[in-house]
Amino acid sequence: MNKRVLLGMSGGVDSSTSAILLKEKGYEVIGCTMALHGGEKQAIEDAKKVCEKLGIKHVVYDLQKDFKCMVIQNFIREYTNAKTPNPCIECNKKIKFGKFYEKAKELGCDYIATGHYAKVEYSKKYNQYVLKKSNEEKKDQTYFLYTIPKEEISHIIFPLQDYNSKEEIRKVAEKNELQVANKKDSQEVCFIPENDYQKFLLANMDKLPKKGNIRLKSGEVLGKHNGLINYTIGQRKGLGVSYKYPLYVLELDVKNNEVIVGKEEDLYSNELFATNLNWQVDVKNNLECLAKIRYRSKEAKAKVLKKENGVEVIFETPQRAITKGQSVVFYDEDGIVLGGGIIS
């Protein structure tokens, strides 16, 4: 009997090509589109057409209530507390590798699969299945996947893991005459129309943000801000104040409702503290590894010291604009994900 896989299908070329590859390998594939925020009509139609063409079953899994509670409300709450959350990481933790995995077991599936750019392989070094960086370095998505429980990794398939470029994946879709072969990639946060964070937050927050002071670290007040949600650490443009040198946002002071600004050099730090840890492999204390503080940043050498309520991370070289609410993800020298946590 063929192994059964529940494949997350967004209607895009990556998940559609994943369906082809899984079927070619002999899996019994069930395509599943998750309804998360009410705007998936086109995605559902596209995924359904792909499944019909390939002769596989397609189901829709309505997770709108869970998504609103677990992802959207968390996003609003974190911004209200002057943190910069990453909703995709929260969605992967609670929804795509949480609720979705539960659904797979309910349907008698042996595995779940997605079109993420990442690898799963057995590591002799760690004596377990591990998550590893994709061949497609620029599109690697392991930064978003560190929250996957380590017990689940052996039940995950990333069908695109042996491909080196998006062009190769599109060619597979074209060869199989899929209509979505040249569909554009989605870049924005899925539940925020036109990627306008401020507009979304203002429409959904319980309390409107209050104005407050913009001041230098030394205490000098330079002007007023129109709500902390409009600012991020490292921001230079749109501050509405000027000074004798270029100003950057250094800190969002929730207690005093102030935006603290200063020189670019003040943005650099070689330390951070992280909580809400998830370890995908067992690591020793005083871990030496490579750490990444945001999706687009490069990994940097760091020491990780386990503390009672989190970890202290000390970088070999100072990092720019370490931001509360973002994640720090740890890798070994082979690109294997060790774990990660939320910067606090």
Q: Which residues are catalytic?
A: 91, 190
CA 187, 342, 33, 201 torsion: positive or negative?
A: negative
Residue 46, burial from CB neighbour count under 10 angstroms (0-12, 13-18, 19+): buried
Give the SS3 label for residue 193: helix
Give the SS3 label for residue 97: helix
CA Rg value for the chain? 22
**In terms of Cα–Cα distance, which of 338, 291, 333 is closest to 312?**
291
Residues 112 and 154: their CA atoms lie apart, in Å, by: 10
Written as one letter, the residue type at 148 is I
Q: Can you name the residues that pair with 35 across neighbouring β-strands?
A: 62
Residues 224 and 41: their CA atoms lie apart, in Å, by: 43
Residues 46 and 26: their CA atoms lie apart, in Å, by: 23
DSSP letter, residue 150 = G
Residues 252 and 215: their CA atoms lie apart, in Å, by: 11
